[in-house]
């Protein structure tokens, strides 16, 4: 993708105040998140999920499952973290959880993408969005830990519903999945146990390769 | 759609505690929102938007544009309102803004859909989700007014970017659009003015029919 903005092709009316114009250009630009396709299969349709759908699903799960957080969380703030968490994939692309090659360059690619995307915003808001994204990535707050747990739990449920999904990725075994999903238990013992039950039963049914 | 749940075809492991199992069945069931297609065209791809993508986009806009609310709003709560606001369309379907026939039965259809969908949740959470949805619909709080404003502003921007979009619906003229978008100004004079500028310029360019 080049540096042409979507609004470059059809600029917004030029009577808008500059700060608002920059914000609305950003609103249009992030429409691209709806085209970043993930590995996870939808349950309700025969296609893969995109990042916008995924981010919405996490937001709903935060509202629904917050009661299982082991530390008290601010639900509204946690929802904001998940709404923003994948924006940088507009430039960096999705790095699937089981893609070990992509993971090597992931941090660098995502940092550059964050500079580029949030740089479209007025400086104060660029910082605010960057702070939300950094908080999510660092997992040092109860809100960020819970947000990350949702980010791991949602695809687990989608994989279960498709009787395997990305569990069929070469090299993935039950123990690999258990290790990747351990961050769920960092936020919630109850949800960590539920994730474990799904993985164990998936392995028992042969939807997930046993560990060697 | 019948009353079969997505998880009926592939139940979650039966070791889960019943309350959590009900919540996770709901998480899976709402995957259907990703298949409820709206009229609005995406900017970044040649297809129409779905409700999950739309809900995510509104959530992001709340975070980005909250500073324009004329009354102070709780951003986290407003984000929750938009995340939940279209869930009932899983059963009621999307009623396009310019569909006057569908509008006649919309309230009744949506109330029935809310009973049915939220009824899947434990009673306390069914009430919480219903309260969020009722708050959004009633527009009696600053948060609900701002959420509704985002719900009207987002498709306006998508229509602008496609040089018309649903403005080409038969019977729609600039004045019809102005009337429908007046709820934006109820939440924010600045955003109401911006919407007005987009509509005026759209009419001037012939992307929107002039009023008779």
Which residue in A43, A88, A31 sits closest to B47, CA to CA? A31
Instruction: Please tell me the least confidently modeled range out of A170-179, B15-24, B89-98.
Output: B89-98
Longest CA pairwise span in chain B (Å): 65
Count of CB atoms situated within 10 Å of the CB of B124: 9
Whether residues B59 and A76 touch (CB distance < 8 A) is answered with no
pLDDT surpassing 80 at residue B3 = no
pLDDT surpassing 50 at residue B4 = yes
How many Å lie between the alpha carbon of A69 and the closest alpha carbon of chain B? Answer: 13
What are the residue boundaries of the structural domains of chain B, listed by start?
Answer: 13-204
Instruction: Please tell me the least confidently modeled range out of A108-117, A202-211, B99-108.
Output: B99-108
pLDDT digits over A126-185, tens only?
Answer: 999 999 999 999 999 999 999 999 999 999 999 999 999 999 999 999 999 999 999 999
Whether residues A83 and B84 touch (CB distance < 8 A) is answered with no
Look at residue B102 in the predicted model and tell me its pLDDT.
82
pLDDT bin (cut points 50, 70, 90) of residue A2 is low
Sequence-distant contacts of B190-195: CB under 8 A, at least 24 apart: B190/A17, B190/A20, B190/B68, B191/A20, B191/B65, B191/B68, B191/B149, B191/B153, B194/A16, B194/A20, B194/A24, B195/B152, B195/B153, B195/B156
Q: Residue A127 to residues A118, A133, A135, A140: CA-CA distances in angstroms? A: 8, 10, 12, 18
Residue A15 and residue A31: Cα distance in Å, rounded?
Answer: 23
pLDDT surpassing 80 at residue A3 = no
pLDDT bin (cut points 50, 70, 90) of residue A32 is very high
CATH number for the domain running over A13-204: 1.10.3210.10
Which residue in A84, A79, A68 sits closest to A121, CA to CA? A84
Whether residues B84 and A60 touch (CB distance < 8 A) is answered with yes
How many Å lie between the alpha carbon of B99 and the closest alpha carbon of chain A? Answer: 25
Q: How far apart are the first and last CA of chain A?
A: 41
Write down the mean pLDDT value for chain B: 95
> Which residue among B6, B52, B79 sits closest to A53, beta carbon to beta carbon?
B52
For testing the chain B interface, which of A17, A25, A26, A60 should be mutated: the one with the most B CBs within 10 Å?
Answer: A60
Q: Stretch A25-41: mean pLDDT, rounded? A: 97
- Closest residue in B to A21 (Cα–Cα): B194
C-alpha count within 13 angstroms, C-beta hemisphere, residue A147: 29
Whether residues A60 and B201 touch (CB distance < 8 A) is answered with no
Look at residue A50 in the predicted model and tell me its pLDDT.
98
How many Å lie between the alpha carbon of B150 and the closest alpha carbon of chain A? Answer: 11
pLDDT surpassing 50 at residue A1 = no
Q: Residue A113 to residues A18, A106, A119, A137, A179: CA-CA distances in angstroms? A: 24, 10, 10, 14, 27
- The reported pTM is 0.96
Name A168's Cβ contacts closer than 8 Å, sequence gap at least 6: none
Look at residue B1 in the predicted model and tell me its pLDDT.
46
* ipTM associated with this complex: 0.96
Q: Stretch B182-196: mean pLDDT, rounded? A: 97
Question: Among residues of chain A, what percentage have pLDDT more than 90?
Answer: 89
pLDDT surpassing 60 at residue B174 = yes
Whether residues A80 and B75 touch (CB distance < 8 A) is answered with yes
Name A55's Cβ contacts closer than 8 Å, sequence gap at least 6: A33, A82, A83, A85, A86, B56, B59
Look at residue A162 in the predicted model and tell me its pLDDT.
96
């Amino acid at each position: 993708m080049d540096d042409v903005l979507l609004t470059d092709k059809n600029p917004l009316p030029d009577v808008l105040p500059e700060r608002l114009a920059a914000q609305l250009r950003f609103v249009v630009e992030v429409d691209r998140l709806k085209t970043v396709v993930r590995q996870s299969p939808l349950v309700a349709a025969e296609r893969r999920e995109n990042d916008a759908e995924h981010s919405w699903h996490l937001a709903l799960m935060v509202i629904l499952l917050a009661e299982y957080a082991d530390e008290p969380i601010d639900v509204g703030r946690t929802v904001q973290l998940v709404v923003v968490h994948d924006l940088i994939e507009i430039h960096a692309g999705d790095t699937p959880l089981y893609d070990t090659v992509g993971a090597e360059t992931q941090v660098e690619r995502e940092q550059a993408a964050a500079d580029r995307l949030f740089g479209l915003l007025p400086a104060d808001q660029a910082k605010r969005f960057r702070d939300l994204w950094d908080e999510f990535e660092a997992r040092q707050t109860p809100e960020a830990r819970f947000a990350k747990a949702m980010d791991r739990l949602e695809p687990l449920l989608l994989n279960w519903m498709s009787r395997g999904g990305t569990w069929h990725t070469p090299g993935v075994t039950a123990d690999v999945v258990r290790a990747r999903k351990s961050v769920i238990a960092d936020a919630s013992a109850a949800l960590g146990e539920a994730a474990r039950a799904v993985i164990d039963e998936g392995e028992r049914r042969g939807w997930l390769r046993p560990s060697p």
